[in-house]
A and B are shown apart, each in its own frame.
Chain A
Amino acid sequence: MTPTLLGTAALALLLAMVLGGARPRLWLGLNSLGALAGLGAALVVLVSGHGLTWRGDFVLGGENVVLLLDAISALFLVLVCLVGGLGAVYAMEYWSDHHFPRSAPRGRVWWSALVLSMGLVLTCGNGLHFLFVWEAFALSAYFLITLDNDRAEVRRAGWLYLAASHAGTMALFAFFSALAAGTGSWELGPMHAHPGLAPLFWLALFGFGVKAGIFPLHIWLPSAHAGAPSHVSAIMSAVAIKMGVYGIVRFSGWLPIPDGAGWAVLGIGCASALLGIVFAMAQNDLKRLLAYCSVENVGIIMIGLGLALLAAAHGHPVWGQAALAGAFLHVLNHGLFKSLLFFGAGSVLHATGTRDMSRLGGLWQAMPWTAALFALGAAAVSGLPPLNGFVSEWAIYQGLLRAVIEKGQTFGVLPAVIVLAGTGALALAAFAKAAAVVFLGAPRGRTALQAAECGWAMRLPMIVPAVVMVCIGLMPGLFLRPVQGAIAAWAPRWAATDPLIPARALGGTHTVLACVLAAAAFLILRKVRANGTRRAMTWDCGYAAPTPHMQYTSGSFAGIVSGWFAWIVRPEKRTRRVRGHFPESALALERIPETVLEKGIGPAARTVLLLADAAKNMQHGRLHLYILYVFLGVTALGLLAVQGGM
């Protein structure tokens, strides 16, 4: 059944690519069919626990085609198909032919290409073919990011993405070639029999880490996610960066692991989580905020994975499993709430035309659906019970705390607990800011006044993830069981131990909590209505004429935290005060630079260019000087040879 479903999915997506450009409805049908079939295949594998290995008869590039679908790839495939299907529905209204006659057909073709290539990345069992489909995936993502290529900002973001992505791909070329040289075959699978391959893990960590957006390698992520159309941002943030996570997870399971890899991954995870959310908090652009939050969530996943690697190295299956279960579930959870949040941000952008939070506000009145769903997503991403974000963070915490209380060699994970706690509180601050500044209070600009709610084609893709999120929160056991299969695929020797995650107790508590919350909300609304209400202007300690400009803005809300982290966030402020006899109007502007790119890589690249420019002076076309170069070179070589000979 699984091969049939996978075949249907591939065929439908291929047809959607070919036929979808001109016929939007046909494309939607084919794309949805492909996504549903892929989802079905993934769910069959997850529920039955039986993976699929399919060896094709035909040869491509000198290698037999091999398809693998085990529980790990099935878990990621669920995400690809879910967001791939929902995003297409969203695009029908958000990026319609009516509004974008030139780019919409192109967008449809590349969308299906992206979904198909990501599906192939997950199922590919041959290193050579993996590189092909990986490149196809990177390129289709590039064309989707630059869909709106009339804007210079978008072209720059696309270029940066392409450059960063190929830096990673270069490492992957080296990685897969060395792998094939080491094992003597391009076929992928467990390689624990070759301990000499262990150093290759670092190459994989870099190559896949660029795609995953772990901290110093995340430079392409904010501008690409902010500049792309919102359905593309959603699939990039929720799914495409997970392909990088998939690569790291996959090869950390298959490769022999070098000493210290667990600590390194844990450290990278802590840095990504903490700095990602600090940068998110400081942003004034709604979609950039969400993009940095993805860095944070990948960091949380890496904390779980790093702990699992440590557990594997020191032989502690119990907390290793808890941490890995948390990491896998967080992959799914982040995909769900991040797609919901990006769809919500897109709906705001669609209605108001701006992503700048300082110009938004009070949108709940015009857009109640978007506001409620975005608030739910914000609560989930902050890890608040009884929603799904808490479940996965809680499982990772379980692993961390168990590692600490054993007081063994792994006591050093203690700072990670404190970092995770700080990250949780910072995420709450960042999303309290995002949701409240955009949707509550009074509109801060004219654009926000004219907003209107989005249609059902944009609403439905937000409702579906919201429902799944609530289900994961209330029934964590149901979703942790398939995750167990993925753990068994990652570390087969752990399959026999019980992870000791009391999911039933948590699910029960969450269900009771949700019921009581709903009852309390209903009762207080009734009570307030019974007591009588009166609408009046905001009292605010007796302000006579409050204006929207008096409200706290996103920058002022984040002021305390960005002050603490000014050493890395480095906000650039420009203010003009009302001074003198003929003053200009007052002004306060704040820009949050991407520190790693603008203060680290940018200056380094400029230095290289300067040096290259200087080297150009040696190329002047004067023959006698060239002869001098040759003479000096030969003399130097000769001297070297004589020295070496002695």
Chain B
Amino acid sequence: MSVFIDTSLRLLAWLILAPLLPGVINKVKAWVAGRQGPPVLQLYYDLARLWRKGVVISTLASPGFIIAPAVAWVAVIGAAALLPLAGADAPVSFDGDVLLLVYLLALARFCTAWGAMETGSAFEGMGAAREVSYAILAEVGIITAILTLAVQSGSISLSSMFEPLPGPSAALLAVGLFIILLAENCRVPFDDPNTHLELTMIHEVMVLDHSGPPLAMILHGASVKLMLFAVFLAQAVLPLSEVPLVMSLALLALAVLLVAVAVGLVESLTARLAFRRVPLLLTIGFLFCLFPLLLTWMGEI
């Protein structure tokens, strides 16, 4: 019974807290620009409204157009549920669950690309092609980061994988994972979530024709994915397993908030990259994950 309650609480935390992050990012951006900006809870209002709206479906689209966002949403939530939260173990934990997490995110990507291709639009096809192509580099980077954690902790299960890294490795890994976070969540400098009519975007362009409840699932799933990457980054870098549970939870929340602020600052202070530079930056992210791996292998400095 306690397992059941624990799982429900954890899922509720993911579902309810995740839409806060985009709100925080937008507030930071508004603050830097000297504007008032939308309220922090804006995404909640949007989701509630979208959930009640009707749906416009392209004449070309199959039922997969509606189902794909739901599958992607479940996959992202499932991946989030696998992640332990600051010493509180995940409800399911087994050797190799970290790979399930990576491949659940891949399932979400497959479904998003599928949904985009349903409409037969040039624009959305372009987004799908970019998404799946850049994700190759991002996935390689994530696996490298996971290898670093696995080599450091000597474990391939998420519950015991987050051992404290030595300082330099932790710093390098933080930068690498942050770059991958920006790419995978379609933030500046890879993508611009603000411009809806720009020829150079990735994620936003894939969801142009979605509306109503499926769009709500896509937006909510995107916020959960952002929080998932932030939590993963925080746990990989901070020695959370060494402090008491309550303290570590507080630290984790603070770290996630800081990541959101950092995303907002990056978004305010830098411009989007030219598209041919995107693979270059992703490769740099991969290298930032590779160096700590080599450091961990060679031994402590």
Contacts and interface: CB of A to CB of B under 8 A. Distances in A.
B59 A538 contact: yes
B92 A520 contact: no
Contact of B129 (A362, A541, A552): A552
Interface string A169-201: 000000000000000000000000000000000
A414 B71 contact: no
Interface stretch (A301-309, A415-423, A629-637): A415-423
A385 to B, nearest CB: 5
A516 B70 CA distance: 10
A506 B100 contact: yes
B150 interface: yes
Contacts of B62: 364-365, 368, 371, 440
A523 B128 contact: no
Contacts of A517: 70-71, 74-75
Contacts of B134: 560
A623 B2 CA distance: 102
Contact of B120 (A441, A505, A532): A441
B67 interface: yes
A376 B60 CA distance: 20
Given A401-B96, A524-B214, A557 B60 contact: no
Contacts of B106: 382-384, 424-425, 428
A504 to B, nearest CB: 9
A449 to B, nearest CB: 13
A531 interface: yes
Interface string B195-236: 011000000000011001110010000000000000000000
Contacts, number: 246
Contacts of A551: 120-122, 125
Instruction: Label chain B's interface by main secondary structure.
Output: helix
Interface in A550-586: 550-552, 556-561, 564
B53 interface: yes
A382 B78 CA distance: 18
A179 to B, nearest CB: 39
Interface in A506-535: 506, 508-509, 513, 516-517, 520-521, 523-525, 527-528, 531-535
Contacts of A426: 136
Given A384-B107, A528-B55, A552-B126, A405 B156 contact: yes
Given A441-B117, A532-B55, A534-B54, A385 B107 contact: yes
B120 A361 contact: yes
Assign chain A's interface to a size class: 35 or more
Interface residues of B, number: 78
Contact of B132 (A422, A429, A437, A520): A429
A502 interface: yes
Contacts of B156: 398, 401-402, 405
Contacts of B69: 524
Contact of B110 (A365, A428, A509, A537): A428
Contacts of B34: none
Given A405-B156, A506-B100, A536 B297 contact: no
Nearest to A536: B56
A280 to B, nearest CB: 13
B97 to A, nearest CB: 8
Given A422-B139, A428-B109, A540-B121, A405 B150 contact: yes
Contact of A550 (B97, B122, B130, B217): B122
A362 B120 contact: yes
A435 interface: yes
B31 interface: no
Contacts of A369: none
B6 to A, nearest CB: 15
Nearest to A440: B117
Given A371-B62, A384-B110, A520-B71, A538 B209 contact: yes
In this complex, which of B139, B143, B150 has the most chain A Cβ atoms within 10 angstroms of its Cβ?
Answer: B143
Contact of B113 (A432, A535, A564): A432
B209 to A, nearest CB: 5
Contacts of B147: 401, 404, 414, 417-418
B120 to A, nearest CB: 3
B248 interface: no
A157 interface: no
B95 A516 contact: no
A528 B65 CA distance: 11
A541 B70 contact: no
B55 to A, nearest CB: 5
Given A424-B103, A523-B70, 14 more contacts: A364-B64, A401-B147, A421-B143, A436-B128, A501-B95, A502-B94, A509-B92, A521-B71, A525-B66, A531-B212, A536-B56, A537-B59, A551-B121, A551-B122
Interface of A: 361-362, 364-365, 368, 371, 375, 379, 382-385, 390, 394, 397-398, 401-402, 404-405, 407, 411, 414, 417-418, 421-422, 424-426, 428-429, 432-433, 435-437, 440-442, 500-502, 505-506, 508-509, 513, 516-517, 520-521, 523-525, 527-528, 531-541, 543, 546, 548, 550-552, 556-561, 564
13 contacts: A384-B103, A384-B106, A402-B156, A407-B297, A418-B143, A422-B140, A425-B132, A432-B110, A524-B214, A525-B67, A531-B54, A541-B197, A552-B125
State the 3 A-B residue pairs at the shortest beta-carbon distance, nearest first: A552-B125, A441-B120, A436-B117
